[in-house]
Amino acid sequence: MSRPAITIYAADWCPYCQRAKALLTAKNLVFTAIDVDGDRQRRDEMIARSARHSVPQIFIGDKHIGGCDELAALERCGELDRLMEGTR
């Protein structure tokens, strides 16, 4: 079974985006980063998918995870690994 795709809508200047990317990188997880800074179309896409205006917004597969704090909470409780294994 293949791992679900990870998408993170982010901005280069955002420290929370950098933290979320660092956590994913430390876990050797491949992700697609979409820079929404100055790109109205991508920002509108992010808002339509997440119903949120702030960055980062993180998706695993089609599941909206939330932002950096939610990603870190998933990691702390072991749920991130389960999501990546496709067992949840």
CA distance 81 to 3: 10
CA distance 82 to 88: 6
List the CATH code of the domain at 6-85.
3.40.30.10
Over the stretch 68-87, which tens digit does the pLDDT of each residue have? 999 999 999 999 999 998 75
Over the stretch 18-53, which tens digit does the pLDDT of each residue have? 999 999 999 999 999 999 999 999 999 999 999 999
- pLDDT band of 4, cuts 50, 70, 90: very high
Task: For the chain, give percent helix, strand, coil, nearest 5.
Answer: 45, 20, 35
pTM (two decimals): 0.93
